[in-house]
């Protein structure tokens, strides 16, 4: 096993499956089974998930809503998704803990770094909800921050494409995939991996990122074993 402790970053939109909004239960259980396979291999798993399938603060701002207000609403959406992931994993008999950057005692624990690390050491999957708890920061930034705080070996960013390309592969058929790329190359080529704040945080703390297709069964487990899946971004 190459990675002993990972932070898995999922987009909220991924949970929609073929729906236009909300949570697709079939997709949710598919993801839970993939996470279980990684967990069963002995890997310590932490998760951050976005809220775009329910609410996006940036879009709300474009509609005239106050940005701070919209961002907090987006944080609450991530907690809904986090609870869904938690429920799906517990249906598979995996012990989990949900920690939130915003206090919600009836639903989840507050984020406490030492407690999160202890949960991982005890073999629990830890889900971090409500982003970083701060407006103007995306869940990518929250994922980078939490990964650094818990000393994860890598951020695994699950997407619907199988890595980083020279251009958008869904728009440009001539786009070619990178197997490995440096942080500096991503900057210089203007490629979109994560938002710039999150990406810089990873670079400064020498935290590698792997972008991969979460929808292909077995990819997550193969990554943890050290197989070449997706695109590796490193210093």
Residue 198's pLDDT is 96
Query: Nearest-CA neighbor of 45 among 122, 111, 124?
Result: 124
Domain spans, the chain: 5-234
Q: Which residue has the tokens 């900057």?
A: 187
User: Which whole-number Å values give the CA distances from 77 to 26, 70, 137, 152, in the listed order?
Assistant: 19, 11, 15, 25
**Residue 82 to residues 42, 142, 146, 190, 213, Cα–Cα distance (Å):** 22, 14, 15, 31, 20
Distance separating alpha carbons of residues 52 and 122, to the nearest angstrom: 31
- CATH code for 5-234? 3.40.1160.10
Kind and range of the H or E run holding 196: helix 196-204
Tens-level pLDDT at each residue, the chain (235 residues)? 899 999 999 999 999 988 888 999 999 999 999 999 999 999 999 999 999 999 977 777 777 889 999 999 999 999 999 999 999 999 999 999 999 999 999 999 999 999 999 999 999 999 999 999 999 999 999 999 999 999 999 999 999 889 999 988 888 889 999 999 999 999 999 998 999 999 999 999 999 999 999 999 999 999 999 999 999 999 8
pLDDT at 149: 98
C-alpha count within 13 angstroms, C-beta hemisphere, residue 56:
11
- Res 217: pLDDT: 95
Q: What confidence score (pLDDT) does residue 18 get? A: 85
pLDDT attached to residue 147? 98
pLDDT (0 to 100) of residue 117 = 98
């Amino acid at each position: 096993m190459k990675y002993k402790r990972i932070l898995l970053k999922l987009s909220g939109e991924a949970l929609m499956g073929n729906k236009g909004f909300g949570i697709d239960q079939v997709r949710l259980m598919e993801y839970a089974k993939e996470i279980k396979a990684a967990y069963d291999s002995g890997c310590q798993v932490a998760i951050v998930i976005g809220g775009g399938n329910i609410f996006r603060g940036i879009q709300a701002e474009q509609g005239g809503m106050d940005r701070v207000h919209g961002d907090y609403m987006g944080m609450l959406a991530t907690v809904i998704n986090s609870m869904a992931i938690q429920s799906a994993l517990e249906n598979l008999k995996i012990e989990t803990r949900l920690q939130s950057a915003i206090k919600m005692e009836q639903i989840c624990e507050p984020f406490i770094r030492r407690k999160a690390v202890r949960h991982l050491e005890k073999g629990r999957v830890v889900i971090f909800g409500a982003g970083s708890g701060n407006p103007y920061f995306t869940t990518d930034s929250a994922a980078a921050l939490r990964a650094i705080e818990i000393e994860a070996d890598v951020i695994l960013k699950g997407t619907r494409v199988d890595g980083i390309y020279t251009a958008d592969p869904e728009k440009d058929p001539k786009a070619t995939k990178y197997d490995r790329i440096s942080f500096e190359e991503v900057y210089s080529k203007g490629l979109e991996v994560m938002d710039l704040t999150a990406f810089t945080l990873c670079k400064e703390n020498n935290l590698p990122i792997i972008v991969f297709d979460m929808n292909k069964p077995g990819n997550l487990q193969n990554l943890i074993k050290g197989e070449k899946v997706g695109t590796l971004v490193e210093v």
